[in-house]
Amino acid sequence: MRHPDDRQTAELPGLPVTKKRGRPSIGAKAMTPAERKRRSRFNQLQRALQSKDVANTQIPAQLNAVVDESTRRYLVAAAREQGTTVGKLIDQLVAAERHRQEEAKRPAFELVPQSAPTPRR
């Protein structure tokens, strides 16, 4: 058996070849942690986009927004108070705004045609 770093010596026929331990690498060499995370995020996004359950699917999004420090502190404090994350808090705020807009489209009351008044006796 040859040394694992020896790339010039051929294997002798008939001897068992030892396999490397662990999960096989995808490319020629091991990925860096940044490459693994990038691949993980890409796969997570693809699974979310292919999901049939649109209402319960969360698509990872990198929202790079510039906000005032007071706004950031408010979001962090409100999320902590509700026991959730800032991302989920933003989802709740957007859902509440959508609901408010839908309610604003509806008339406050509907006119019901009245029947002819009944004569008094």
Render each residue's pLDDT in the chain as its tens digit; 121 residues.
Answer: 667 788 787 777 777 777 778 877 788 888 899 999 999 989 988 888 888 887 777 777 777 888 899 998 999 999 999 999 988 899 899 999 999 998 888 876 766 676 666 667 6
pLDDT of residue 121: 66
Question: Which residues 6+ apart lie within 8 Å of 19 measured at CB?
Answer: none
Please tell me the number of Cα atoms within 13 Å of 38 on its side-chain side.
5
pLDDT of residue 53: 80
- Provide the token pair at 115: 């029947």
pTM: 0.48
DSSP state of 71: H
Amino acid occupying residue 49: L
pLDDT of residue 118: 67
Taking the C-alpha atoms of residue 97 and residue 55, their distance in angstroms, rounded to an integer, is 17
- Provide the token pair at 36: 């693994």
